[in-house]
Amino acid sequence: MKLIIISDIHGGYENILNIKKFIDEFNPDTIILLGDILYDYHNNVSSDELADLLNHYKNKIIGVQGNCDSLTDQIKLDFNIMNDYITFNIEDDIRIYCTHGHLNLNIPSNVIKISGHTHRSILTTKEINPGSITYPRDGNKSFIAYDNRKFTLYDINLNIIDELSI
């Protein structure tokens, strides 16, 4: 399975445009959006342009609700973002549990936790966070691609920041 994992877009239309060609060429089976998608809290606006762009991928996107996502955002999107979490196998022996990270959920111990919310990237065998593609708190606007048992953390200029083989 091939995945793209993005969190905390916060209306960053230009940042998604920076990686759109990569997404199209990588051709993921699934794009996981970990919440805080349309609303830009710095400018108090929600991006209709971004909604239109993401809706292009509606058959590939699964999402979870972030603390900045609302029913108003859901109305603009053609895919569900109102789940607290999603969980599924990415390999026969690898199960992931995806959540935004702002709720106190009972996360099973036999999964890889994938979350956003902190705007800081993490890449370990137990916890993965793609950081934020728009407002990073660790210096890198970043996202993750997964293929062939390897998670790769990229910045939006497509430089590899880190890799994790599992």
Contact 63, 35 (CB under 8 A): yes
> CATH classification of 3-165 is 3.30.365.10, yes or no?
no
Q: How far apart are CA 8 and CA 140, in angstroms?
A: 13
What φ, ψ does residue 75 adopt, rounded to 5°? -60, -30
CA dist 40 and 133 (Å) reads 12
Look up the pTM and report it: 0.96
Residue 41: the pLDDT is: 79
d(CA 138, CA 118): 10
In whole angstroms, give the CA distance from residue 160 to residue 156.
10
143 within 8 A of 154, measured Cβ to Cβ: yes
Task: Collect all residues with Cβ–Cβ distance below 8 Å to 57 and sequence separation of at least 6.
Answer: 23, 31
**pLDDT tens over the chain, length 166 residues:** 999 999 999 999 999 999 999 999 999 999 999 999 998 877 777 789 999 999 999 999 999 999 999 999 999 999 999 999 999 999 999 999 999 999 989 998 899 999 999 999 999 999 999 999 999 999 999 999 999 999 999 999 999 999 999 9
Residue entry with tokens 């905390």? 8
